Structure 1
Amino acid sequence: MLVPFLIMLREGIEAALIVGIIASYLRQTGRRAWLPLVWVGVGLAVALSLGVGIAFDLASGEFPQRIQEMFEAAVGLVAVIILTSMVFWVRKAARSIKAELHDSIDHALSTGDHQSMALLGMVFFAVAREGLESVFFLLATFQQGAEVGVGAPVGAVLGLAVAVIVGFLIYYGGVKLNLRVFFRWTGFFILFVAAGLLAGSLRALHEAGLWNGLQAAAFDLSSILPMDSALGSVLAGILGYQDQPTVGEVLVYLLYLVPALILFVPAPPAPVSSQPAPDASRRPGAI
């Protein structure tokens, strides 16, 4: 329940911020008449995301076992790529996204007869991206069994509901949220989740008969921390924990996670020397 909640909270807040920036700019520039079109774009994007999610879920249930394992692996790999790109994109674009959206709005509303379609398309694609990212993540999580029962969908709905409330509070109530800290910590969390999904995709490829290497057990913690225990279930849902992982799964997990964390954590600034700069006139050869 925790993983879908946090992911949907993050994705929902990203979408709410984008919509809030667009709506605020339209209000500030005296273009309130375009606001209904913004909500139409949001509604269409939500409908597309729900439709894609339902279609994929229904289709996967009809696949033979081997094809279903291959589909599970493919969805997991796509989810890892999307989640990773999302984390690093937000880290890079957080400072400039507002200005970029303002420029996009001005460009969309200066296209003559196609103003409405341009604005609708801009909102639709911005929100649909967040929605489709969520769909692939939730599909991968549900299929790999990291979240089972009704807790997973309930967590996802609660996360989205909280994100909507936060969005309204920011937009209408003037609530301040330290987004840099929020996206930084949730980014760390998502990288661990993505590593678990990647290891799960390798496991699915093995079950589909497409990967048979490095299948020796790396370690066995089933007697110390079994997956069906309370803590084991929580770690499995959050970090992709397995009590008897294979060597391949451990390698894939670490080969993804370690470089991702190194790249995600910014290098500390170079120390500033407290010593005064040397006098150029005292350097060898100075005139």
Structure 2
Amino acid sequence: MLVPFLIMLREGIEAALIVGIIASYLQQTGRGQWMPAVWIGVFLAAALALLVGGGLELVSAEFPQKQQELFEGVVGLVAVGILSSMVFWMRKVARSIKHSLQASLDQALTASKHQVIALIAMVFFAVAREGLETVFFLLAVFQQSEGPGAPIGALLGLVLAVIVGLLIYSGSMRLNLSAFFKWTGLFILVVAAGILANSVQALHEAGLWNHWQTVLFDFSATLPMDGPLGAVLAGMFGYQDAPTFSTLGAYVIYLLVALVMFFLPAPAPSVSSTSVSSQ
């Protein structure tokens, strides 16, 4: 429940931040009449995310067991790639996102003969990116979780993200977004390592990956995955009570590489602007 909650909270705040920057800039430059186009772009992006997520879930439900394992493994790998790119993309553009969005907005409203369509498209692609990232992550989490905890956590995260976004936009809440994205990004990398390990296991069960399957240790008697603590660790960090060389190796190698990249000095932004944390 905690993992989907935090992911939805982070992704929701990212999307709210993008929409908030666009809405504020439109108001500040006397273009408030364009706001309906912004909301149309947001609605279309949300509809696309729901359509893709619902479609993939319905299609996968019809698969035989081995194909379901294959689908779970592929979705997990895609989720790991998207989550990783999301963390490092935000780390790179955090200080220039406001300027970049404002420049894109000016271009959409001045360089295009069809300003409404251009504005809708700009907002759509900006928000759809966040939505599709969330869809693939939630699919990976839901397939590795049981019970209503994960959907409830995702819903609560979304609701809180909307509230936080409205408070930030109204100016009644000052959130250190730089610190927020840094620590949630670190958490996401640990979660992604667990998803990767489970994806390797799913590919093995689908018959596509049969290398390095020696079990390194077995904690099933002392800390089983179906026990209270084991279930929490499995749901949050991809814990396996009897990991193989393949799954544990994938977990450790990914996490080491990702953490080294994460703690390296952030690349200098191409455009200097106000820090996200001041929005």
TM-score category (smaller protein): over 0.9
Q: How far has the Cα of 1:238 moved from its partner?
A: 1.0
Where does residue 236 of structure 1 map in the other structure?
234
What is the RMSD of the two structures over their aligned residues, measured on CA atoms?
Answer: 1.2
Larger radius of gyration: 1
Where does residue 114 of structure 1 map in the other structure?
114
| 1:205-240 CA distance string (max 9 Å, x none) | 111111111111111112221212222111111111
Amino acid at match of 2:233: L
Aligned to 2:153, which of 151, 155, 170? 155
Q: Which runs of 4+ in 1 moved over 2 A?
A: none
Secondary structure, aligned partner of 1:243: coil
Aligned to 2:217, which of 216, 219, 237? 219
Retained in 1: the 8 A contact 2:112–2:118? no
Q: How far has the Cα of 1:267 moved from its partner?
A: 4.9
Secondary structure, aligned partner of 2:48: helix
C-alpha distance in structure 2 between counterparts of 1:204 and 1:222, whole Å: 19
Q: How far has the Cα of 1:112 moved from its partner?
A: 4.2
Where does residue 274 of structure 2 map in the other structure?
none
Secondary structure, aligned partner of 1:255: helix
Q: How far has the Cα of 1:162 moved from its partner?
A: 0.2
Unaligned ranges ≥5, structure 2 = 267-279
How many correspondences in the alignment? Answer: 266
Q: How far has the Cα of 1:189 moved from its partner?
A: 0.6
TM norm structure 1: 0.91
> Does structure 1 residue 261 correspond to structure 2 residue 243?
no
> Does structure 1 residue 80 correspond to structure 2 residue 80?
yes
Unaligned ranges ≥5, structure 1 = 269-287
Where does residue 56 of structure 2 map in the other structure?
56
Single out whichever of 16-25 and 238-247 deviates more from structure 2. 238-247
Where does residue 270 of structure 2 map in the other structure?
none
Single out whichever of 84-93 and 215-224 deviates more from structure 2. 215-224
Where does residue 66 of structure 1 map in the other structure?
66
C-alpha distance in structure 2 between counterparts of 1:216 and 1:150, whole Å: 34
Query: Percent sequence identity over matched residues?
Result: 65
> Does structure 1 residue 187 correspond to structure 2 residue 185?
yes
Single out whichever of 15-24 and 221-230 deviates more from structure 2. 221-230
C-alpha distance in structure 2 between counterparts of 1:226 and 1:17, whole Å: 41
Amino acid at match of 2:84: T
C-alpha distance in structure 2 between counterparts of 1:112 and 1:204, whole Å: 47
TM norm structure 2: 0.93
Q: How far has the Cα of 1:70 moved from its partner?
A: 1.2
Where does residue 105 of structure 1 map in the other structure?
105
